Each structure stands twice: as structure tokens, then as C-alpha cells.
Amino acid sequence: MTGPSTVESVGDSSYAVVTTYKRDGTPVPTAVWVVRDGDALAFWTVTGSGKVKRIRRDGTVLIGPSDVRGRPTGPPLKGHAVILDAAGGEHVRDLLRRKYGLMGRLTLFFSRLRRGADGTIGIRVTLDPAAGQDG
């Protein structure tokens, strides 16, 4: 792993690992595409996924830069995730299209064909003000 993570370092990486928590406290890490959204981070996922269910119950997450397989490339940051409304989700999709170019546009297009307009959702992660790192 390399130096300290920040919104910029996580948002500028190609992938991030987002760790959500089951009811019993078991961590569940997942690799996602990630974008910067102002002073926060955002990602997009399938509406009915486990991470969405866990975030609805408890928005506490860790997020940090990773490779495509979710192996950390920097330390994680503590944050709070919220599920966005339709307009917020479309904003995240726009950010993903800009960041990931043709691959992003194609992925989002085929996801919409497969799952429909409501089949995916945007999630925004605001980092803890203390920016405490946890490993």
C-alpha cells in the first residue's frame, strides 16, 4: 500500500473498495468504480444488491483506492454512505461517463438495457470530518 488516502486519491483511482457491514458486524468489501463528487465520493451499483441493503440499514462504510479485484492500494477512509434519489443517481452516472469514457458509456448503456432505468442506483459517501483511517 502507498501513502495516505484522500478524497482526491480515492476519487482519482480507477477502482475503490467499499466496505459495508452486516448486522453482526462482519465487513463485506466490494470493488466499485468511483468518482469524486465535490468534497465527497460516489459510486453506482445494482439497486437490489447486498451493499445497498446494508447501506439502507447502516450507512457506515470504509472506502479506499483498490485494484479491479478490490485489493487495497491505499488505506481506507471512514465515511457515511447515502442512497441517492433518481436525479442524484443520474448525476453519478454523468460523472462516471466523463471519467470512464467509452467504457463507462457502454457499461451504463448496457446496464440500462438489461436492468431498466430503476435497476441501478447512485450512492454518495461523505468522509468523516476527522478523516480517521481504519485498517
Nearest to 62 by CA among 34, 37, 91, 29: 29
pTM of the model: 0.82
Domain of 57, CATH number, reads 2.30.110.10
Q: What is the DSSP string of 81-99?
A: EEE--HHHHHHHHHHHHHH
* Position 133 in a domain: no
* Position 92 in a domain: yes
* Position 47 in a domain: yes
Residues 61 and 18 sit within 8 Å (Cβ to Cβ): yes
* Position 37 in a domain: yes
* Position 54 in a domain: yes
pLDDT value of residue 4: 60
- Range(s) of the domain holding residue 83: 7-127
- Which residue type is seen at 133? Q
pLDDT value of residue 131: 54
* Position 132 in a domain: no
Burial profile 72-104: b = 16 or more Cβ within 10 angstroms, e = fewer: bbbbbbbbebbbbeeebbebbbebbbebbeeeb
pLDDT along the chain (135 residues), means of 10: 72 93 96 93 91 95 94 94 93 89 75 73 89 47
Nearest to 72 by CA among 36, 27, 39: 27
pLDDT value of residue 3: 55
The number of distinct structural domains making up the chain is 1
